[in-house]
Amino acid sequence: MRTLILALLLTAVSGLSRAAAFPDFDGTGAGLSVRAVIEQAASAGGLIPEPSAASAGSPVWVSMEKSAVGALDSAVFKSAPVAQNKRIAIYEFDAATLDRLAGEMHKAFGRGPGFFAHDSLESALEDLKEPPAVPARSYTIDQADRVKALLPLAEEGNIVSVIKSLSAFKNRNYRTATGIDASRWVRDLWTRYAGGRPDITVETFKHQAFPQESVILTMRGAAEPDKIVVIGGHEDSTAGYWGGDVSAPGADDNASGVAVVSEVIRALVKGGYRPARTIKFMAYAAEEAGLRGSADIAAAFKQQGADVEAMMNLDMVNYKGSEKDIYFVSDNTSQPLNDYVGKLIDSYTGLTWGTLKCGYGCSDHASWTKNGYPSTTPFESSMEQMNPYIHKADDTLDKSGGRAEHAIKFARLGLAFAVESAK
Ligand SMILES: [Zn+2]
C-alpha cells in the first residue's frame, strides 16, 4: 500500500513538472521516448504502441456515468469499478480496449465517447469530485462594424478543401502513423495561415500517454493578453468498435470542426484583425479515446491558473439533419455562455437555433467544464437527427453533398464569437 501511495505521489509530482512547461508545452518528462516513437511513426506505419509504457496493455482509468454501464456489453469490463460515487464509476482498462469501449458507447447511445480516459488513477479520481464553479462572466455584443467586415471573408471552398485533405488520411486515430501525420498537417496549415505575423504562434501540445499531438495557434492579445478565449475541435477520428488502423475518414466527425476553426483563423488574419485579449485555436488529439487531448490541455491551463473566459467547441458541424441550423449542448456547458452565443447567432447570422442534451463526457467541452472554465458547443443537428455515418468508413463529405453549406454557418458564428469575446 505504501509503495502504491509513493508511486501515486511520484506520478503526481511528475504531472506537476510536466504542466510547468506551460505555455510552451515542451520538454515532457517522457519526452525522449515519446519523441522516439513519433519520429519512427511515419516510416513504420500502422498502429503505434502507447509510448508511456512497454506495451499497448498499459493501464488506463476511465470515468463514466454508472447509468450508462448497464447498456454496454459487460464483457468490455474486466473487473468491478475501482472507485465510485453516486453517479460516476472509475474502471481500469488497458489502452488497447478503449476503442472497444468507445464502440460500445457509440452503439448504445449513438454518440461518443461518453467517458474520460486518464493516464493515472489519481487523475481519474478527480472526476468523482464536483467540478469547480465557473466564475460569473458578463458577455456583451457591441462590435458590429468589425464583425460585419469580417463575416464575408469566410469561404465555403476553403472549408471543403480542408475537410477533403483531412478525410484523405486513412484515419486520424490517436495511435496511428496517419493520425500523427494528420496532426502535423494541421500544424503546417495553421502555420501558413498565420502568415508570419509576430503576434501569432503555432505550437504542438505533446501528450504523455499517446503519440498524436494537439495543435495550438495563439493570437496574442494586444491589451489584455492574460485573458484567453479558446476555439477548438478534435482532430482525431475513429471507426469505433474496430478502432485502430482502419479506414476512418471522419469528414463530419470531426474534419468539419477543424476546417471551421481553420477558416476562422484564415479569415481573421486576412482581415488584419488583432484581438485585445488572447485567442487560442486548438485541434485536440484523442477525443474519441475519452477526451484525452482536451483534458490534458484544460488541466494544464487550470494548473497554471490560466484565465479562460470562454471556450467554443466545434465537433460535427457539416451535416444538416434537423430543421434548425444550430443546436447547443445544454448539459455540461455554461448556460450564460450558451445564452450569449445564441444572441450572437441572432445578432449576426439570422440562423435558427435550439438545444439538446448530450450526456457525460460527450465532447471536448466537458474537459473545460470540469476544470472550471465556461464552455459552449454549437452542434449540427438535434441528437436524434445527427449524422448517422460517423465512426464508420462511411463518414465522407458526399454525405453533406460534397459541400460545406452547413459548416460555413459555424465559421461565421466563430468569427463573431472571436471578435466579440476577445475585444
Ligand atoms: Zn467528434
Q: Tell me the CA–centroid distance for residue 183 and ligand 1, in Å.
A: 15
Q: Tell me the CA–centroid distance for residue 38 and ligand 1, in Å.
A: 24
**248 residue type, one letter:** A
Q: Tell me the CA–centroid distance for residue 234 and ligand 1, in Å.
A: 7
**Is residue 226 flagged as an active site residue?**
no
Selected catalytic residue, list 106, 207, 234, 365: 234
Q: Tell me the CA–centroid distance for residue 11 and ligand 1, in Å.
A: 30
Q: How far is residue 211's CA from residue 35's CA, in Å, rounded to a whole number?
A: 8
Give the start-end residues of each E strand in 306-346.
Answer: 307-313, 326-329
- Classify residue 244 as left (phi > 0), alpha (psi -120 to 50) or beta: left
| Cross-strand partners of 311 | 230, 375
- pLDDT at 15 (0 to 100): 36
Q: Tell me the CA–centroid distance for residue 182 and ligand 1, in Å.
A: 16
DSSP class of residue 255 equals I
**Is residue 365 flagged as an active site residue?**
no
Cell, residue 372: 472550471
Q: Which residues does 64 contact at the CB level (< 8 Å), separation at least 6?
A: 88, 89, 91, 114, 115, 116, 360, 361
Chain-centre distance of CA 146, in angstroms?
28
Q: Tell me the CA–centroid distance for residue 179 and ligand 1, in Å.
A: 15
Q: Tell me the CA–centroid distance for residue 254 and ligand 1, in Å.
A: 5
Which residue, chain included where needed, has cell 519523441? 35
Q: How far is residue 386's CA from residue 406's CA, in Å, rounded to a whole number?
A: 13
Q: Tell me the CA–centroid distance for residue 236 and ligand 1, in Å.
A: 8
Cell, residue 44: 513504420
Q: How many CB atoms lie within 10 A of CB 188?
A: 12
Q: What angle do CA 248, 381, 113 make, to 5 degrees?
A: 45
Selected catalytic residue, list 50, 119, 245, 253: 253
For 234, phi and psi rounded to 5 degrees?
Answer: -85, 140
| Cross-strand partners of 282 | 216, 232
CB-CB contact of 410 with 326 (8 Å):
yes
pLDDT digits (tens, 9 = 90+) for 200-221: 999 999 999 899 999 999 999 9
Selected catalytic residue, list 119, 203, 252, 288: 288
**Is residue 287 flagged as an active site residue?**
yes
Burial annotation 46-85 (CB, 10 A radius, 16+ → b, else e): ebbbbbbbeeeebebbbbbeeebbeebeeebbeeebebee
Domains and CATH numbers, the chain: 31-128 (no CATH), 144-421 (3.40.630.10)
Q: Tell me the CA–centroid distance for residue 199 and ligand 1, in Å.
A: 30
Give the start-end residues of each E strand in 130-263.
Answer: 200-205, 214-219, 224-234
Q: What is the pLDDT along the chain (423 residues), one digit of tens a residue?
A: 433 443 343 333 333 333 333 333 333 333 444 445 455 554 456 666 554 433 456 789 999 999 999 888 888 888 899 999 999 999 998 877 887 888 888 888 877 789 999 999 999 999 999 888 888 888 999 999 999 999 999 999 999 999 999 999 999 999 999 999 999 999 999 999 999 999 999 999 999 989 999 999 999 999 999 999 999 999 999 987 666 788 999 999 999 999 999 999 999 999 999 999 999 999 999 999 999 999 999 999 999 999 999 999 999 999 999 999 999 999 999 999 999 999 999 999 999 999 999 999 999 999 999 999 999 999 999 999 999 999 999 999 999 999 999 999 999 999 999 999 999
- pLDDT at 257 (0 to 100): 98
Q: Tell me the CA–centroid distance for residue 112 and ligand 1, in Å.
A: 7
Cell, residue 124: 481519474
Selected catalytic residue, list 106, 118, 207, 391: 391
Selected catalytic residue, list 119, 296, 315, 420: 315
**119 residue type, one letter:** D
254: cis peptide before it, omega within 30°? Answer: yes
3-state class (DSSP) for residue 407 = helix
Selected catalytic residue, list 287, 296, 309, 380: 287
Q: Tell me the CA–centroid distance for residue 56 and ligand 1, in Å.
A: 24
**Is residue 235 flagged as an active site residue?**
no
Q: Tell me the CA–centroid distance for residue 189 and ligand 1, in Å.
A: 21
Q: What angle do CA 141, 376, 388 make, to 5 degrees?
A: 130
CB-CB contact of 261 with 414 (8 Å):
yes
Q: How many CB atoms lie within 10 A of CB 127?
A: 24
Q: How many CB atoms lie within 10 A of CB 350?
A: 9
3-state class (DSSP) for residue 5 = helix
Q: Tell me the CA–centroid distance for residue 397 and ligand 1, in Å.
A: 15
CB-CB contact of 180 with 211 (8 Å):
yes
